[in-house]
Amino acid sequence: MKILLKASIIILNIKQMKLFLTILVLFLGYSNLNAQQIPDSLKFRAQQFFYQRLLHIDSSKARRVALLQVDHKDRVKDVYGRFDLNTQGKAKILSDLDSTRLSKLAQILDPKELNILKKIGSN
């Protein structure tokens, strides 16, 4: 009887240990997953604040610049993700995207602000 009782306690402890470890791993994995990703809204606000301070512009202009830059970055990622294009095709599309971005920025910013943005190589 004592041997059976000890065996059942050991089995119970192993089951509890497995459950505890499973919950612990899931919790730590979830918290690390969330800690590594900053929400997009915070990234966007930080980028908007960066442009506002760098170019000395108001928040509405900075928001429009940040939106253009985010859109440009997404389009560039899409081009690099295309495998049906060769290097020259990608270069042509990227050049067109950059000229479009600069023309849209020129509609928002004055030449001095645009030159500051060009100097830092913001793509």
Q: How confident is the model at residue 8 (pLDDT cuts 50, 70, 90)?
A: low
Residue 108 has pLDDT above 80, yes or no: yes
Same-domain check for residues 96 and 115: yes
| Domain containing residue 29 | 1-37
Pair (11, 30) in one structural domain: yes
Tokens of 17: 């240990």
Query: Sorting pLDDT into bands at 50, 70 and 90, what band is 41?
Result: confident
- Whether residues 33 and 65 share a domain: the answer is no
Q: b/e for 71-102, b at 16 or more Cβ within 10 A?
A: ebeebbeebeeeeeeeeeeeeebeeebeeebe
* 46 and 33 together in one domain: no
Whether the predicted pLDDT of 76 surpasses 90:
yes
Which helix (H) or strand (E) segment holds residue 4: the answer is helix 2-36
Under DSSP, the state recorded for 122 is -
What integer pLDDT is reported at residue 35 of this predicted model? 46
8 A C-beta contact, residue 76 and residue 94: yes
pTM, to two decimals:
0.63
Between CA 31 and CA 65 the distance in angstroms is 33
pLDDT given at position 48: 92
Tell me the mean pLDDT in the region 71-83: 91
Q: CB–CB of 108/64 below 8 Å?
A: yes
